[in-house]
């Protein structure tokens, strides 16, 4: 008698299992009891799948809420950025025609005024005026 290899044994089991389970109810019951030891019942599997599905739905809902919140924050930041850019651009325009110096010759003031150049004798004057301008621009 020759030795059978594993593949041949598996083939015989599959063939005999199918045939025997159809004809012998007690054998079929025995096979089902064995499979119950290693495989969960259908209801348990369905319950697990349903639970996972519900968890996925919940995660999806939470993600959607977070996405909407981030979108609102993004839009608010974009609005603020545009406002700040407007203020910065206004200040930059004015900086081109400005002098801050404690020693400005009085004869230069009329010339500066004609050219649209602002003269400040101290940086605090400029800061105070700019704070008012920023309030006007942003308000």
Per-residue pLDDT in tens (0 to 9) along the chain, 139 residues: 456 788 888 888 888 877 777 777 787 788 788 888 888 888 988 999 999 999 999 999 999 999 999 999 999 999 999 999 988 888 888 777 777 788 888 888 888 889 888 888 888 888 888 888 777 776 6
Give the predicted TM-score (pTM) of the model.
0.46
CA 109, distance to chain mean position in Å, is: 56
End-to-end Cα spacing for the chain: 101
Nearest one of 88, 89, 96, 92 to 116, comparing CA atoms: 96
According to the 3-state scheme, what is the secondary structure of 3-46? CCCHHHHHHHHHHHHHHHHHHCHHHHHHHHHHHHHHCCCHHHHH
For the chain, how long is the longest CA-to-CA vector? 126
Give the side-chain half-sphere CA count within 13 A for 47: 5
């Amino acid at each position: 008698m020759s030795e059978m290899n594993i593949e041949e044994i598996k083939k015989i089991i599959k063939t005999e299992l199918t045939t025997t389970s159809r004809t012998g109810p007690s054998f079929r019951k025995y096979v089902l009891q064995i499979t119950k030891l290693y495989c969960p019942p259908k209801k348990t599997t369905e319950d697990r799948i349903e639970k996972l599905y519900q968890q996925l739905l919940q995660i999806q809902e939470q993600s959607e809420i977070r996405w909407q919140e981030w979108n609102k924050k993004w839009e608010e930041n974009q609005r603020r950025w545009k406002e700040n850019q407007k203020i910065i651009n206004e200040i930059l325009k004015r900086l081109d025609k400005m002098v801050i110096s404690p020693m400005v010759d009085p004869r230069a003031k009329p010339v500066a005024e004609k050219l649209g150049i602002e003269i400040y004798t101290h940086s605090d004057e400029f800061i105070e005026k700019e704070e008012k301008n920023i309030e006007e621009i942003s308000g």
